[in-house]
Structure 1
Amino acid sequence: MTLHHLKVFIRVAEGGSVSAAARECHLAQPTVSQIIRELEEYYSTRLFERLSKRLYITEDGRRLLARAKEVAAAYERLEYDMSPDKMRDRLRIGSSVTVGMCLTPALVKRFGAARPEAEIYSYVNNTRTIERMLLASELDVAIVEGRVRSRDVQSFHCRDDYVALFCSARHPFASRASVDIAELGAESFVLRESGSGTREIFENFMRERGRKIKVKWEVACFDATLRAVVEEGCVGVASVRLLAPHLASGAVRAIYRPGGEWDRTFSLIYHKDKFITESMEMFVKEALDGKEDELPQKDDMIRLDG
């Protein structure tokens, strides 16, 4: 049994999938399955129940998961203590896609200027992936717009934000003062991929009201969302921060939900057992002490009723 076994096990346990863990660890699926079998043989217990082609972690598996995370964190602290030249000035920063477009680049630039000796690695993906990487100690700190689920992650308010629907200036909705939720059923939507915090807010909103969404495009970035809205007449969902310049140019119109139902925050997160280096402490302070930007006002937007 090695640290590699434990790191692969953590990925499988948190993702609930051998195939997903194989992709994230850059391993063949049979290799991941073999690692799990070796752990089960080593500890003489079943770590997962395999029911209808899905994995469900057992009680013994949960105990091992808690200990495996402690071992991975202890190893990282050991690496820090014994390899100061390599570890102390290296900071791995994660961002969800929206944050990575509108907030992190400026933060990383300021941090790099203030601490030029630091080696910075910045990674952008959806909230769910960033949280998994943080838990697996592949990232030191992150800023995300989505909801984090693990109790092992500490979360701090970083910036305010809200989600809005948006359509092309040529769309029939664009000349309206309000739209009813019932009208959305006839629209073709472009949504971010599963795991996106932006998508989760809108999908939960519609699901709670028994409404279905007709998804025409599923994309991984805002630029592709914008093109589907402008060129194909789809309705999109995005952070108002990303929409701001396009609203100002008149290329699109935003549709907001009154009552603050789509309000949210960008959260700075890191593992509760994380050893905080000087570089990480400086970045966290820079991120949390930053001035709040003024968000676009809703007065000129279309109201979503119903």
Structure 2
Amino acid sequence: MRYTLRQLEVFLAAAHTENITRAADTLAMSQSAASSALKDLEQQFSIQLFDRIGKRLQLNELGRALRPRAQALLDQAAQLEQGFRQNNRVGDLKVGATLTVGNYLAVDIMTEFMQRYPDSRVDLTVANTAAIGQRVLNFDLDVGLIEGELHHPDLEINRWCEDELLLFCRPDHPFVALETLSTEHLLEAQWILRESGSGTRQAFDRAMHDLLPKLDIRLELQHTEAIKRAVEKSLGIGCLSRIALEAELETGRIVELKAPERDFTRYFYSILHRQKYRSEGIARWLELCESFAQQTETSD
């Protein structure tokens, strides 16, 4: 074999950081050692993996094509090393989740995972759908859990959990006296919503597609807690996931509103890079996600 795993590590680190010095730092190597490893890899095969732009290294077409395969090979090597150690660790995981999933589901799944596999560590990143998708594509995350719709040929996207958005308001809002909200009521309302591009907003816009140009959207906020507080302060009515509103509904701080003519059903999705090596840890994590989804459906 004419290449080493260390050379592949340098190649992948340089692809991620776009700088050989930063790549060396992430691998605890000297800059000269990292530079030599990358140079030797390219010279051995008479290839060029990067376009050099000053000190910046930008993957060229060949580098982009080989990156997923190199990453998968290193992942398999790490799994093999774990097997040689003959222990029961399933390995560490880097998981990304969007806001609703991250705040109200992923932490519970992570807790259960670490209780089952106490020697494993889970790093959780919470961001919007686009950011999580990009980090999975860059192999910065092993798996993503998203609530928005995403399409990319390099991503494997699987539906794993059903969710429902709820309309809600303060207990003393005039709409509380209504059994259901008509189209006229929806147009009359002042809305406090998630920002455009979020998974929650995508689902809301789909349910209200024919009314969107006429809606009175008073505030667009990035965080669910901010939306709940704004509704409690009588700034308008909101729309969030049921799982994000359970505590407030139980205490009576907010009240659910019904609009039966609108479909607020949506789904959560797991995403992985198609060329990502499916380690034992990834397999166990996805199984646990499915288990949580089944428990949620049973409790409903």
TM-score (norm 1): 0.70
Distance, in Å, in 1 between the alignment partners of 2:269 and 2:100 is 12
Change (3 A) 1:76 1:37: closer
For residue 206 of structure 2, give the secondary structure of its aligned residue in structure 1: helix
Match of 1:215 among 196, 214, 217: 217
Shift of 1:224: 0.7
- Could you list the runs of 5+ residues in structure 2 that have no partner in the other structure? 1-10, 19-49, 83-88
Superposed CA deviations along residues 131-177 of structure 1, whole A, max 9, x for unmatched, are: 12111211111222221221322222322211122111121111211
Shift of 1:193: 2.4
Distance, in Å, in 1 between the alignment partners of 2:226 and 2:204 is 18
Change (3 A) 1:286 1:294: closer
AA paired with 2:155? Answer: V
Change (3 A) 1:235 1:79: same
1:168 equivalent in structure 2 = 170
2:91 equivalent in structure 1 = 89
Shift of 1:263: 0.9
1:126 aligns with 2:121: no
Comparing 140-149 and 198-207, the one that deviates more: 198-207
1:268 equivalent in structure 2 = 270
Shift of 1:225: 0.8
AA paired with 1:98? Answer: T
Change (3 A) 1:183 1:259: closer
Shift of 1:36: 8.8
Superposed CA deviations along residues 267-304 of structure 1, whole A, max 9, x for unmatched, are: 2221121111111111111111333325998xxxxxxx
Does structure 2 conserve the Cα–Cα contact (< 8 Å) formed by 1:240 and 1:295? no
AA paired with 1:267? Answer: Y
AA paired with 2:252? Answer: G
Match of 1:292 among 283, 295, 299: 295
For residue 207 of structure 2, give the secondary structure of its aligned residue in structure 1: helix
Shift of 1:125: 1.4
1:189 equivalent in structure 2 = 191
Comparing 145-154 and 184-193, the one that deviates more: 184-193
Does structure 1 conserve the Cα–Cα contact (< 8 Å) formed by 2:181 and 2:259? no
1:75 aligns with 2:70: yes
Match of 1:247 among 249, 256, 260: 249
Aligned residues: 249
Shift of 1:69: 4.7
- Could you list the runs of 5+ residues in structure 1 that have no partner in the other structure? 10-34, 44-60, 298-306
Does structure 1 conserve the Cα–Cα contact (< 8 Å) formed by 2:76 and 2:277? no
Distance, in Å, in 1 between the alignment partners of 2:64 and 2:258 is 41
2:38 equivalent in structure 1 = none
Comparing 74-83 and 123-132, the one that deviates more: 74-83
2:106 equivalent in structure 1 = 104
Shift of 1:203: 2.0
Does structure 2 conserve the Cα–Cα contact (< 8 Å) formed by 1:129 and 1:195? no
Q: Percent identity?
A: 24
AA paired with 1:80? Answer: D
Give RMSD over aligned pairs. 3.3
TM-score (norm 2): 0.71
Superposed CA deviations along residues 238-288 of structure 1, whole A, max 9, x for unmatched, are: 011112222222221223443672111222221121111111111111111
AA paired with 1:214? Answer: D
Q: Which has the larger radius of gyration?
A: 2
Distance, in Å, in 1 between the alignment partners of 2:16 and 2:200 is 29
AA paired with 2:242? Answer: V
Does structure 1 conserve the Cα–Cα contact (< 8 Å) formed by 2:76 and 2:279? no
Change (3 A) 1:256 1:7: farther
